[in-house]
Amino acid sequence: MGKNLSERLRPTDQERALYGVDASTQTALLEIADSFIVGVKAFSLGLTSCLILPAFLDDPHAAFADMAGLVAKVSTLGKIFDGLIKHAGQIPDPSGCSRTLADGIVFTVHGDTPKDPTIRDAWPDSTPGNANWIYVYGNGLTKTGWHGGIDAGGNVSGFDPETGNAVAGQASTVTTRAAAAAAAYAVAKGDMRRVQDFYRGGPIGGIVNLPIS
C-alpha cells in the first residue's frame, strides 16, 4: 500500500517567496525553484538523497543582446540558489544528527561544452582548446576558487589535482576524473575511502580540503 505525498511535496506560495519567485516568474526559472522546493521536502521525508534536474534547455546565443534581461535572469537564479540554502537550513537532517539539511547540501552544475567566454556576439559554442568545466558547491569540502581556466586572451590552463597549481595549456580531459572525484569527496562528506571505490587516479589534495592529521 502506497501513500500519496503530493500535497506534502507541492511548492507553496510562501516557499516560492523564499526562493524569490512567484507565478509571474519566467517558466524556466520557476521550474528550477519548484524542483528545489520539492527536492528539499523529499530529502526531509527521507524519500531520496539526490536530485538531478535539467536547466533552461535553451541555446542562448543571443544572451548578451539583451543585457537587462540577462541581468534579471542571473539575479533571479542567484535568489533561487540562496533560497535553496535557506530552505534546507530550516529543516533538521533526518539522519538524526544535530545539523540541518543545508549542512550536507552539495551540488554540481555541468553539461555539454560551454560557450566561448571571450566572445559575446552570438556567443559561439566552441571554447578555446575545447575546454570544459564543472561548478561544484562542496559545502567546505572542496577548495574554493577556479582551478584552471581561460584568460581574456583565450589562453587555456588546467591544474594539478595534487597541488591545485595551474598547468598552462593542459586539456580539460586530463583532469575530468579528478574533478569528478572532488565532487564525490564532498558528497561522501570527506570520506576518501568511499571515493576510492570509484576513483583510481592520483591525489586530489590540491582541490579538496583533506582532514588535518
Label each residue of the chain as H, E or C.
Answer: CCCCCHHHHCCCHHHHHHCCCCCCCCHHHHHHHHHHHHHHHHHHCCCCCCCCCCCCCCCCCCHHHCHHHHHHHHHHHHHHHHHHHHHHHCCECCCCCCCEHHHHCCEEECCCCCCCCCCCCCCCCCCHHHCCCCEEECCCCECCCCCCEECCCCCEEEECCCCCCEEECCCHHHHHHHHHHHHHHHHCCCCHHHHCCCCCCCCCCCCECCCCC
Q: Are 196 and 113 contained in the same domain?
A: yes
- Does residue 97 lie within any of the structural domains? no
Statement to judge: residues 169 and 134 lie in one domain: yes
Each residue of 155-177: pLDDT tens digit? Answer: 999 999 999 999 999 999 999 99
In this prediction, residue 190 carries a pLDDT of 97
The number of angstroms, rounded, from the C-alpha of 179 to the middle of its chain's C-alpha atoms is 13
Q: How far out from the chain centre does Cα 23 lie?
A: 25
Is the domain of 113 the same as that of 195?
A: yes
**pTM of this prediction?**
0.92
Contact 90, 46 (CB under 8 A): no
The C-alpha atoms of residue 99 and residue 58 are separated, in whole angstroms, by 37
The pLDDT value recorded for residue 26 is 96
Antiparallel, parallel or unpaired: β 156-159 and 149-150: antiparallel
Q: Are residues 113 and 197 in the same domain?
A: yes
User: Would residue 180 count as lying in a domain?
Assistant: yes
Q: Which residues of 126-162 are buried (b: 16+ CB within 10 A; e: fewer)?
A: ebebebbbeebbbbebbbeeebbebeeeeebbbbbbe
Q: Could you tell me if residue 73 is inside a domain?
A: yes
37 and 88 co-located in one domain:
yes
Task: List strands edge to edge, sheet with 149-150.
Answer: 149-150, 156-159, 166-168
Q: Can you read off the three cell numbers belonging to residue 191?
A: 570520506
Q: Which domain holds residue 20?
A: 12-92
- Is residue 182 situated within a structural domain? yes
Tell me what pLDDT residue 212 has. 81
- CA dist 144 and 78 (Å) reads 18
User: For residue 1, what pLDDT is reported?
Assistant: 64
Query: How far apart are alpha carbons 148 and 161 in whole angstroms?
Result: 10
Mean pLDDT in each 10-residue stretch from start to end of the chain (213 residues)? 87 98 96 98 95 92 95 98 98 87 96 90 94 96 97 97 98 96 97 96 97 80
Residue 5 lies in a domain: no
- Domain end among 62, 92, 122: 92
Number of separate domains in the chain: 2
Residues 84, 110 within the same domain: no
Q: What is the pLDDT of residue 2?
A: 74
